[in-house]
């Protein structure tokens, strides 16, 4: 049994940020990670000839986010622009920079008048009923499920109002070399300051009392510490007893268990396609080389290029209820849905596209047992849950993760890093 000052479960952005800061401050830190790699929902594909610096998980820095950019500066890691035009494909035609939604101003006005929080789908059906607003219904559903990866039937209207009111089309960035360069920096920093990071370490049980924690792995190895940080994805914390990755707390953590179920956790599937040539540039549209993001009504509705960089890679994205419905599909089934979606959009032959496909990777985060979804979103009862989870249990068990973040960059790496930083500061 190894004794530590702080034990951290989960080597994603939140857990490693906490490990980096605590070990730098002289604490004896051990990180236990269930996967065979660090990074959690960050997973850069960088060692394959077809995919270079391509992200299976988190990909963008959405704006000039302080914690992320400060960390990149500290680690001397450069980043590059990911600014590109947003296009829409509908009714057989491409619209450049056509993201205007009919009745959006009226929607925002009604949102401002709302006094009591309700799920956003209840709000839409109550205040914008009937066929007259069908376009608005479709737009809100696809935006909430696509961008927020949330179920509109559960997502908080107040939280979405806050998000939409503070939405600025800020600069988008990608980390040069991929987000895993940042993860490697945090992990190496922890180790160089005397900390340890163990992979394939699946925690099944935590026995605790004030000031003392014992974590038992599935192979019955045990680790002992004065304090514990749980930096697991919310989907794993919400897993039922006995499911892969679920942790049994002894004694139970009562109010915190209830709070975990009050949080919303989305669903997503991400598809990477590498083609022998950038066939989409041949589409009969003069500015196709400017297209960065493409939104459609296909089975795999959202696609993006590596613009402004030139690349033969296309990334597909499906989130929310549609991703939950597809969670049980095989990689080949998802590949074929992706190819069919692209064939429909670009008026191409599916078999021809399949012939041009030289490599593909499917990341079904929703079916992944150590993630079980995408990232957090607020339900109506989430603020109460977040308040409980933001406070440590008996100054012994702490929680860290993007789901605890309260700023405007919800569901991002910035949110995870901020939470890890805040938790480390509480302990210090």
Hey, what's the torsion of the CAs at 272, 277, 283, 288, to 10 degrees? Answer: 70
- Is 33 annotated to bind a ligand? Reply is yes
Would 2-40+61-80+176-262+380-427 and 84-170+268-364 be classified into the same CATH topology?
A: no
| pLDDT value, residue 20 | 98
Is pTM beyond 0.85? Reply is yes
* CB contact set of 9 (below 8 Å; sequence gap of 6+): 15, 31, 32, 203, 215, 228, 229, 230, 231, 232, 247
- The CATH number that domain 2-40+61-80+176-262+380-427 falls under is 3.50.50.60
Second CATH level (architecture) for the domain 84-170+268-364: Alpha-Beta Complex (3.90)
Residue 36 has a CB neighbour count (10 Å cut-off) of: 7
Any binding-site annotation on 203? yes
Domain boundaries, the chain: 2-40+61-80+176-262+380-427, 84-170+268-364
pLDDT in tens, the chain (428 residues): 556 699 999 999 999 999 999 999 999 999 999 999 999 999 999 867 778 889 999 999 988 899 999 999 999 999 999 988 889 999 899 988 766 677 888 999 999 999 999 999 999 999 999 999 999 999 999 999 999 999 999 999 999 999 888 776 678 899 999 999 999 999 999 999 999 999 999 999 999 999 999 999 999 999 999 999 999 999 999 999 999 999 999 999 989 999 999 999 999 999 999 999 999 998 878 888 889 999 999 999 999 999 888 899 999 999 999 999 999 999 999 999 999 999 999 999 999 999 999 999 999 999 999 999 999 999 999 999 999 999 999 999 999 999 999 888 889 999 999 999 999 999 99
The alpha carbon dihedral of 333, 339, 345, 348 has a sign of: negative
Instruction: Give the pLDDT confidence score for residue 307 in this predicted structure.
Output: 85
Burial label, 105 (beta-carbon count in 10 A; 0-12, 13-18, 19+) = exposed
């Amino acid at each position: 049994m190894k004794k530590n000052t702080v034990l951290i479960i989960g080597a994603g952005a939140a857990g490693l940020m906490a490990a980096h800061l605590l070990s730098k401050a002289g604490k004896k830190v051990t990180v236990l990670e269930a996967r065979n790699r660090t990074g959690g929902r960050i997973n850069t594909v960088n060692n394959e000839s077809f995919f270079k610096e391509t992200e299976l998980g988190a990909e963008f820095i959405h704006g000039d986010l302080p914690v992320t950019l400060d960390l990149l500066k500290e680690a001397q890691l450069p980043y590059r622009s990911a600014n590109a035009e947003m296009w829409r494909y509908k009714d057989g035609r491409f619209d450049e920079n056509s993201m205007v939604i009919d009745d959006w101003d009226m929607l925002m006005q009604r949102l401002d008048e709302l006094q009591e929080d309700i799920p956003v789908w209840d709000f839409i059906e109550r205040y914008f009923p009937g066929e007259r607003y069908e376009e608005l219904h479709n737009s809100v559903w696809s935006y909430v499920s696509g961008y927020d990866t949330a179920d509109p039937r559960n997502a908080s209207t107040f939280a979405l109002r806050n998000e939409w009111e503070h939405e600025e089309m800020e600069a988008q960035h990608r980390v040069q070399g991929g987000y895993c360069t940042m993860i490697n920096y945090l992990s190496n920093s922890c180790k160089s300051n005397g900390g340890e990071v163990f992979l394939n370490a699946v925690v099944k049980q935590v026995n605790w009392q004030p000031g003392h924690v014992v974590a038992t792995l599935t192979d019955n190895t045990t680790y002992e510490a004065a304090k514990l940080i749980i930096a697991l994805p919310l989907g794993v914390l919400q897993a039922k007893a006995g499911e892969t990755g679920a942790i049994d707390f002894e004694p139970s953590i009562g109010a915190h268990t209830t709070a975990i179920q009050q949080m919303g956790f989305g669903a997503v599937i991400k598809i990477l396609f590498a083609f022998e040539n950038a066939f989409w540039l041949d589409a009969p549209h003069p500015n196709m080389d400017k297209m960065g993001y493409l939104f459609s009504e296909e089975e795999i509705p959202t696609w993006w290029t590596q613009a402004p960089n030139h690349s033969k890679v296309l990334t597909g994205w499906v989130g929310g209820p549609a991703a939950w419905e597809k969670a049980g599909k095989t990689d080949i089934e998802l590949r074929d849905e992706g190819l069919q979606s692209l064939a429909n959009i670009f008026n191409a032959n599916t078999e021809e596209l399949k012939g041009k496909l030289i490599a593909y990777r499917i990341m079904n985060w929703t079916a992944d047992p150590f993630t079980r979804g995408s990232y957090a979103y607020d339900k109506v009862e989430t603020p109460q849950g977040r308040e409980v989870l933001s406070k440590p249990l008996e100054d012994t068990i702490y929680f860290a993760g993007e789901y605890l973040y309260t700023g405007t960059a919800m569901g991002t790496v910035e949110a995870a890093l901020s939470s890890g930083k805040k938790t480390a500061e509480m302990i210090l």
